[in-house]
Every structure is written in C-alpha cells, then in structure tokens.
Amino acid sequence: MFNWIFNLIWGEEWQKLGGMKRSPKWSALQKQLVKEHPFCSACLKTKNLIAHHKKPFSLFPELELEKSNILILCEGSVVNCHFLWGHCFLNWKSYNENVERDIQIITNLRNNAQPKKESFKNPSQ
Ligand SMILES: [Zn+2]
Ligand SMILES: [Zn+2]
C-alpha cells in the first residue's frame, strides 16, 4: 500500500524490482552475461546492454540467476529495446511472455528486408 511512496523515491528501479532485493550475485552475473552476449538480442546494438528477465524477478524471484530466463537487451535513449520488447512499452511491472517469439519475428523481418531495400521505390518519385 506504500508502493506509490517507494515509486516516488526510487522510481523505475523500484518498479523493476517489484520491491524486492536482488541477489548479491546479480550484478556480477549480469556483467558476465553481457560479456558472453555483447549485443542487444532485438536491435543488435552494443551499447547500454542489460540483462532482462523473461519471467520477471518480482514474480519469479527463484529464476533471478537462471541463465535460461535471461535475455540481453539494450536501453538506448532512442530505442529502449528492454522496455519495448521486454515490457511491452507499458510499465516495468508488465512483461512480455512472448519476448523470444517477438524478437524472432523482428529478426526475420530485418533479414528479409535487407535484400529488398534496393528495389523499394518511393511512389512519389
Ligand atoms: Zn536494442
Ligand atoms: Zn526487464
């Protein structure tokens, strides 16, 4: 019931954690995973990478350090893949159950779109 106060004080970080403390091993694991996967799973950028929990820490704290539950995404200032793909662009409490399927779809779109780019004609020209 005091959630709004905590939201006010700690904002985003608090929402991401759902009010729970992260394991002391988390930050080391996050660094290690970013090293192993040094690009965003969605847009392939290599900056501002974070480890996202497919099943959120607030609901599945037991999966916090489970590698298979973690996806590397970026938090860019222009496109925040973490927020967009991981949390449906809604809020940090909601999460995208189909994040892997969605990322697969955009990866396919990107792969298919590249060779076609040159044949694309702007109808106004
Ligand atoms: Zn990204
Ligand atoms: Zn996340």
Per-domain boundaries in the chain: 25-113
**Paired tokens of 55:** 């099943």
How far is ligand 2, taken at its centre, from the CA of residue 86, in Å?
Answer: 5
Which numbered ligand comes closest to the C-alpha of 87? 2
> What is the 3-state composition of the chain as percent helix, strand, coil, each rounded to the nearest 5?
45, 10, 45
How far is ligand 1, taken at its centre, from the CA of residue 65, in Å?
Answer: 22
pTM above 0.95, yes or no: no
How far is ligand 2, taken at its centre, from the CA of residue 41, in Å?
Answer: 13
Instruction: Name the residue among 93, 48, 41, 47 with its Cα closest to residue 71.
Output: 41
Question: pLDDT tens digits, residue range 99-110?
Answer: 999 999 999 998
Query: In a 3-state reduction of DSSP, which class is residue 10?
Result: helix
Q: pLDDT exceeding 90 applies to what percent of the chain? A: 58
CA distance 83 to 75: 7
